[in-house]
Amino acid sequence: MKILLLGANGQVGFELARSLAPLGELVCASRDGKMPGGVACLAADLANPGSLAAALDSTQADVIVNAAAYTAVDRAEDEPHLAQRINAQALAEIGAHAAAHNALAVHFSTDYVFDGAGSRPYHENDATAPLGVYGRSKLDGENALRASGCDHLILRTAWVYAARGHNFLRTMLRLARDRDELRIVADQHGAPTPARLISAATAAVLAQHTDTREMQLGTYHLCAAGQCTWFDFAGAIFARAQAAGLIARVPRLVPISTAEYPTPARRPAYSVLDCSRIRDAFGLHLPNWRNGLDGVIGELAG
């Protein structure tokens, strides 16, 4: 099995590069043609149709895993055309290539396709209603992949973080070294999900990939188990980070409402995803978000 990994230098892509390697011949691609540490790889810029087409045509992969995305949620409000190009139009092109070459396309989407007005975990077939440009572009990307007619897996995830990259955990650790008090939103609910969990689950799913894959195609939710608020998550980060020696002290945490922390893009208030479908279909174990946090803190602590 030949696998093309797009976005191989991002948070999820970096972990996928390790988890997918044992499954076959893996070709890694990034926007600038470089992996972390400066190692050269294939260049594939989803903002550039020619670059993406060249990467797809030159690789002729059996499986195309797209971990590339426009993820600047607030900036997307000012750059809707770029977000749409990367998150939606590029997916139509990936889907068309996959359909023409009988390849499987694996794509990662987001909880932001929902409006967050619910009070129970979202199922895959619940009505979508994104609140901003980012969520709409990601939903359009999902629909473009479906409309292409290719074999596909769409994996929606949420609150992604890792030991590298730009994410909530790393921001909290940085701020803890400079501030005595932090005001953290306490009325948004989700499930913090490590990139390594996403990559491990994706590899486990693809390891089961066979010619009778039709029963396993479609859209799935993939997150850590349980739920919390950003305030809860910050508290857990600091408690574990201090115990691991990553920070000397824990700043005072003040819970605030979303209204007290306005942002250009609206966030869903409740975006917990029901992951029972992917657990049942592939026999996956998705640990509680606290266990995932322990793993990332342990990685940072060396």
Instruction: Judge whether 122 counts as a catalytic residue.
Output: no
Catalytic residue among 112, 134, 161, 270: 134
Q: Tell me, what's the pLDDT at 213?
A: 52
The reply to whether CATH 1.10.275.10 applies to domain 2-167+193-225+272-287 is no
Amino acid 187: pLDDT: 97
Q: Residue 191 and residue 235: Cα distance in Å, rounded?
A: 14
Torsion angle of the four alpha carbons 83, 90, 204, 206, in this order, in degrees rounded to the nearest 10:
170
Contact 224, 288 (CB under 8 A): yes
pLDDT score of 210: 57
For position 215, what pLDDT does the model report?
53
Please report, for residues 7, 66, 67, 77, 173, the alpha-carbon distance to residue 91 in angstroms, rounded to integers and kept in the order given.
13, 9, 11, 20, 35
The tally of CA atoms less than 13 A away on the side-chain side of residue 171 is: 10
Q: Determine the pLDDT at residue 198.
A: 98
Q: Tell which residue, 191, 190, 194, 188, has the closest CA to residue 267.
A: 188
SS3 for the chain is: CEEEEECCCCHHHHHHHHHCHHHCEEEEEECCCECCCCCECEECCCCCHHHHHHHHHHHCCCEEEECCCCCCCCHHHCCHHHHHHHHHHHHHHHHHHHHHCCCEEEEEEEHHHCCCCCCCCECCCCCCCCCCHHHHHHHHHHHHHHHCCCEEEEEEECCEECCCCCCHHHHHHHHHCCCCEEEEECCCEECCEEHHHHHHHHHHHHHCCCCCHHHHCEEEECCCECCEEHHHHHHHHHHHHHHCCCCCCCCEEEEECHHHCCCCCCCCCECCECCHHHHHHHCCCCCEHHHHHHHHHHHHHC
Confidence at residue 38, expressed as pLDDT on a 0 to 100 scale:
85
pLDDT, tens digit, 9 for 90 and up, residues 214-259: 558 899 999 999 999 999 999 999 999 999 999 999 999 999 999 9
Residue stretches of the chain with pLDDT short of 70: 210-215
pLDDT of residue 175: 95
**β pairing state of 160-161 and 193-194:** parallel
What distance in Å separates the CA atoms of residue 55 and residue 27, rounded to the nearest whole number?
10
